[in-house]
Amino acid sequence: MKYNNLTPEEENVIVHKGTETPFSGEYNENFRLGTYFCRRCNAKLYESKDKFKSSCGWPSFDDAVPGAVKRISDSDGVRVEIRCAHCDAHLGHVFEGEQYTEKNVRHCVNSLSMKFIPYDKK
């Protein structure tokens, strides 16, 4: 499978499961209407209607595009990692029970793992 070229910072997060510095990501405070895609393979991951302000330092979503994200037990034995279901790119982690939204789920996603395309640019 052919993937998009990644910068060293993107590769650190997407391939080596790194984490970008909190509050540094380009999409942390982005609340424009649009769609978020996997930076590695261009698969559709999230819609802006599911994004919410959590003040955790990373973009937060309470739902993903159906079938787009898979959950895997993290190597730390505590958290649940989320990956692109299409190319296995590391996206971040998912948390439940925090009461941020009615769905009670927070996908905490690295901006470096995604590309955003506003609805008015499609």
pLDDT digits (tens, 9 = 90+) for 102-114: 999 999 999 999 9
Task: Note if 108 is an active site residue.
Answer: yes
Phi, psi of 98 (to 5 degrees): -90, -10
Contact 52, 60 (CB under 8 A): yes
Nearest to 95 by CA among 56, 48, 121, 45: 56
Ordered by start, the domain boundaries in the chain are 8-121
**What is the CATH T-level fold of the domain 8-121, as seen in this structure?**
2.170.150
Asked if the model's pLDDT at residue 1 lies above 80, the reply is no
Locate all alpha helices (DSSP H) within 1-122, ordered by sequence.
8-14
Q: Give residue-wise pLDDT tens across range 24-72.
A: 999 999 999 999 999 999 999 999 999 999 999 999 999 999 999 999 9
d(CA 117, CA 107): 19
The CA-based angle 78-57-48, given to 5 degrees, is 100
Question: Confidence band (pLDDT; 50, 70, 90) for 117?
Answer: very high
What's the order of all strands across the beta sheet hosting 114-118?
44-47, 34-38, 114-118
Q: What does pTM read for this prediction? A: 0.94
- Which pLDDT score, from 0 to 100, does residue 80 have? 96
Among the listed residues 41, 56, 87, 108, the single catalytic one is 108
Question: Longest C-alpha distance within the chain, in Å?
Answer: 41
